[in-house]
Amino acid sequence: SSEKERTLKTIGWAAQDSSGYLSPFYFSRRATGVKDVRFKVLYCGICHSDLHIIKNELGSTQYPTVPGHEIVGVVTEIGSQVNDFRPGDRVGVGCFVGSCRSCRNCRNDLENYCPESIFTIAAVYYDGKPTFGGFSDTMVADEHFVIRIPDKLPLEGAAPLLCAGITTYSPLRHFKLDKPGMKVGIVGLGGLGHVAVKFAKAFGVEVTVISTSEKKKEEALSRLGADSFLISKDQDQMQAAIGTMDGIIDTVSASHPVGPLLSLLKSDGKLVVLGASEKPFEVPVFDLIMGRKTFAGSGAGGLKETQEMLDFAAEHNITADIEVISADYLNVAMDRLAKGDVRYRFVIDVGNTMK
Q: Which whole number is the average pLDDT over 81-86?
A: 97
65 and 15 Cβ atoms separated by less than 8 Å: yes
Q: Which whole number is the average pLDDT over 234-252?
A: 97
Tell which residue, 118, 72, 75, has the closest CA to residue 95: 118
pLDDT above 70 coverage of the chain, percent: 98
pLDDT at 5 over 70: no
Q: Which whole number is the average pLDDT over 112-141?
A: 97
pLDDT, tens digit (0-9, with 9 covering 90-100), for 311-348:
999 999 999 999 999 999 999 999 999 999 999 999 99
Kindly report the CATH number that applies to the domain delimited by 8-163+320-349. Answer: 3.90.180.10
pTM: 0.95
Spatial separation of the C-alpha atoms in residues 91 and 112, rounded to whole Å: 19
pLDDT at 71 over 50: yes
59 and 73 Cβ atoms separated by less than 8 Å: no
Which pLDDT score, from 0 to 100, does residue 7 have?
Answer: 53
Spatial separation of the C-alpha atoms in residues 64 and 78, rounded to whole Å: 28
- The per-residue pLDDT of the chain, averaged, comes to 95
Spatial separation of the C-alpha atoms in residues 86 and 340, rounded to whole Å: 39
- Stretch(es) of the chain classified as CATH 3.90.180.10: 8-163+320-349
Query: Superfamily assignment of 165-297 in CATH?
Result: NAD(P)-binding Rossmann-like Domain (3.40.50.720)
Spatial separation of the C-alpha atoms in residues 355 and 342, rounded to whole Å: 25
Q: Which residues of 22-55 are buried (b: 16+ CB within 10 A; e: fewer)?
A: beebebebeebbeebbbbebbbbbbbbbbbbbbb
Pick from 10-19, 43-52, 204-213, 278-287: least confident: 278-287
DSSP string computed for 129-198: PBP--SSBSEEEEEGGG-EEPPTTS-HHHHGGGGTHHHHHHHHHHHTT--STT-EEEEE--SHHHHHHHH
- Stretch(es) of the chain classified as CATH 3.40.50.720: 165-297
* Angle of CA points 193, 194, 198, to nearest 5°: 115
pLDDT at 192 over 50: yes
**Which helix (H) or strand (E) is 43 found in, with range?**
strand 36-46
pLDDT band at 1 (very low <50, low <70, confident <90, very high): very low
CA 273 to chain centroid, in Å, comes to 14
Spatial separation of the C-alpha atoms in residues 44 and 346, rounded to whole Å: 9
Q: Which whole number is the average pLDDT over 208-224?
A: 95
- Cβ neighbour number for residue 95 with a 10 Å cutoff: 24
Q: Which residue has the higher pLDDT, 37 or 3?
A: 37
Q: Which residues contact 240 (CB under 8 A, 6 or more apart)?
A: none
Tell which residue, 178, 163, 151, has the closest CA to residue 311: 151
Which pLDDT score, from 0 to 100, does residue 355 have?
Answer: 85
292 and 167 Cβ atoms separated by less than 8 Å: no
Neighbouring-strand partners of residue 65: 15
pLDDT band at 254 (very low <50, low <70, confident <90, very high): confident
pLDDT above 90 coverage of the chain, percent: 93
Spatial separation of the C-alpha atoms in residues 160 and 320, rounded to whole Å: 6
Q: Which whole number is the average pLDDT over 148-176?
A: 98
pLDDT at 90 over 80: yes
